[in-house]
Amino acid sequence: MSHLNKEDSPGWHRNFAVKTNNRAWDLLTKNRTLEEDREMLNAAHASAYHWSVCGTKFHHMRATMLLSEVHSLLGYGASAYKYAQEMKEFFFSKETPDWEIAFTHTIHAHASHVNGNMKQYAISFAAADRAIKDIEDEEDRAIVLQTFNLIPKS
């Protein structure tokens, strides 16, 4: 007879997935020290791990979205773009809320820029700008704009 540890329970993993996700997003939008950069990267990867254990495909792809943005901010172009492509393919193949479409374009633009793909950057940046304007809820728009404003404008 096997005995499950609390660490094996979906609730335990979900708790850490949410906490580490929120911590990474909090760090993402502020001026960070090198130690906070490391914490942000670790939190994003920890969140992705915990969501992989207990979450749905949507949770996994939202974690992938976070990984793309964190890798973009840290200048890891190849991995940022790989994550961005994966989450873009997923979200654009599903019924997706307006704010998530805007996030997808925004993060894809950022990853394209960091990866040096300036043609794709221009396409995704313009799409993000349009998608942000189409977000119905003002609070959702403000949240996406925080991330959009992190993208270099060149």
- Has residue 96 been placed in a domain? yes
- Has residue 90 been placed in a domain? yes
pTM for the model stands at 0.93
> What's the rounded Cα separation, in Å, for the pair 13 and 26?
20
- Classified as helix, coil or strand, 75 is coil
Residues 76-135: pLDDT tens digits? 999 999 999 999 999 999 999 999 999 999 999 999 999 999 999 999 999 999 999 999
Residue 100 belongs to domain with CATH number:
1.25.40.10
Confidence class for position 4, pLDDT limits 50, 70, 90: low
> What's the rounded Cα separation, in Å, for the pair 10 and 103?
27
For 58, the domain range is 9-148
> What's the rounded Cα separation, in Å, for the pair 67 and 73?
10
Question: Which of 122, 123, 121, 143 lies closest to 132, judged by CA?
Answer: 143
- Has residue 123 been placed in a domain? yes
- Has residue 41 been placed in a domain? yes
Q: Residue 25 above 70 pLDDT?
A: yes
- Has residue 104 been placed in a domain? yes
Total count of domains within the chain: 1
- Has residue 4 been placed in a domain? no
